[in-house]
Amino acid sequence: MTLRDVDLSRVVSHALRHEPWVYELELDGQGWVSLESLVEALRLERDWSALTVADVESMVSGASKQRHEVRDGRIRALYGHSVQGRIERASAQPPPRLFHGTSPGTVAVIRVQGLRPMGRQFVHLSVDRDTARAVGKRKAPNPVILVVEAQVAAEAGVAFYAGNEKVWLADEVSPAFITWDAGD
């Protein structure tokens, strides 16, 4: 990704995840908006008069992390939403285990309350320890890695949703399905 693509990705994420109204966009129930509407809004909001639909499509297809999805002339953020109103998702069968990186200071609360989405719509879980560690390092230099027994939780009725190839989502996860990583 070029520097311009990184900036564009950040702005698109902000528009589709957090404050679509700032850009005068209205997301549908699954978080979709037309690509043309998004491009028009960004041309005005950021004064990117030369921005095109092809630029946005190129940014999405060239991204190292799958944060957005483009389909049939529409675009949406795959995860990370904090907008009011629930983004609808279809539940899916998760892998046996998922991981969550967090700061050591939150462990006591998680032991009691489990994982909750906090300011977002879903709890974000990673498919591997390395990704969870990278996410956790945003919160603390030495994050704690939690192991979620996702398959067992799903069998007990916890809904999981596929985010992308490295991210899974859940409404919340009870402490009964969480263990602390021993690095096995």
Q: Which of 126, 117, 120, 116 is nearest to 174 (CA)?
A: 116
Shared domain for 115 and 71, answered yes or no, is no
Shared domain for 67 and 124, answered yes or no, is no
This prediction has a pTM of 0.60
Listed residues 77, 110, 130: the one ending a domain: 77
The mean per-residue pLDDT over the stretch 171-179 comes to 94
Listed residues 77, 106, 133: the one ending a domain: 77
The lowest-confidence range among 33-37, 59-63, 117-121, 161-165 is 117-121
Query: Over the stretch 61-85, which tens digit does the pLDDT of each residue have?
Result: 988 778 888 989 999 887 766 666 6
Output the pLDDT for position 184: 40
pLDDT above 60 (res 183): no
Instruction: Tell me what the pLDDT averaged over the chain comes to.
Output: 85
Residue 87 lies in a domain: no
Range of the domain at 16: 3-77
- Give the torsion through C-alpha atoms of 71, 170, 165, 19, to 10 deg: 50
**Tokens representing residue 37 in the block:** 């509407």
Listed residues 77, 106, 141: the one ending a domain: 77
Check if the beta carbon of residue 27 is closer than 8 Å to that of residue 35.
Answer: no
Output the pLDDT for position 84: 61
Query: Over the stretch 80-122, which tens digit does the pLDDT of each residue have?
Result: 666 666 666 778 899 999 999 999 999 999 999 999 987 677 7
Give the phi and the psi of residue 158 in degrees, each rounded to 5: -75, 130
Residue 39 lies in a domain: yes
Domain count, the chain: 2
Output the pLDDT for position 62: 87
**Residue 116 belongs to a domain with what CATH number?**
3.20.170.30
Shared domain for 102 and 176, answered yes or no, is yes
Residue 161 lies in a domain: yes
Residue 92 lies in a domain: no
pLDDT above 90 (res 124): no
Q: How confident is the model at residue 156 (pLDDT cuts 50, 70, 90)?
A: very high
Shared domain for 136 and 64, answered yes or no, is no
